[in-house]
Amino acid sequence: MLLSKNSALESKDNEIFEVEESIAIQSELIKTMTTMVNSKAYVNERNQMVPEARCRKQANYHVEQNNKIVDEELSDWESKFFEVDMDDLHELFMAANYLEIESLLNGVTKRVGDFIKACKNVEVIRQTFGINNDFAAQQEEEIRKLNSWNHI
C-alpha cells in the first residue's frame, strides 16, 4: 500500500501537525499553496493565523470524515462534532473561513443556523449573538408596521 504523502502544517503557536496530503488539500488555501510550492514528500507550510486548537480540530475533522464512509455514521459523528458552544463555534468558523474548507464551513454555518432557529424572538437572537439594536425608534416603528401582517 502506498504511503500517502504527508504535509506538515505549522500553526501560529508553532505546533506542527502532520496530516495526509489528501486531507490537507481539502483546505483550498493549503491546496493553492501546495501547488504553488511544487509539493514534495514533506511539505512544510505555515499557518500563521491559525492557533493550535483550531488546527488540531481541522486535522481531526478531516481524518474522521475520511474514515467514516457510511452516511449514517458520518451524520451522527458530525452532529456530535458541532455540538459546541458559541465560542468554539466561532473559532471553528474563523479557521474554516481562513483555510477555506467548504465542508467544515457548511457544518459550522448550519449549526449557527440551528442556534438562530432555536431563538424564540428577536430579543433572544440579539442576546445570543451579542448584537446591539441599532435601529432608531422611528425605524423600529416602521419595521413594526411593515411586519404587522406577520403578527396578526
Identified binder of another protein from the candidate list 83, 105, 107, 138, rule CB under 8 A: 105
* 59 or 105: CB nearest another protein: 105
Task: List the grid coordinates of 69.
Answer: 464512509
Measure the CA–CA gap between 10 and 43, rounded to whole angstroms.
10
Identified binder of another protein from the candidate list 81, 93, 99, 101, rule CB under 8 A: 93
Instruction: Give residues 120-149 in contact with another protein (rule: CB under 8 A).
Output: 121-122, 125-135, 139, 143, 147, 149
Sheet arrangement for strand 16-20 = 16-20, 6-10, 42-46
- With contact defined as beta carbons under 8 Å apart, do 126 and 133 qualify? yes
- With contact defined as beta carbons under 8 Å apart, do 47 and 10 qualify? yes
Measure the CA–CA gap between 36 and 136, rounded to whole angstroms.
50
* 9 or 107: CB nearest another protein: 107
Identified binder of another protein from the candidate list 44, 46, 116, 141, rule CB under 8 A: 116
Which residues of the shown chain bind another protein in the complex (CB under 8 A)?
86-87, 90, 93, 97, 105, 108-110, 112-117, 119, 121-122, 125-135, 139, 143, 147, 149-150, 152
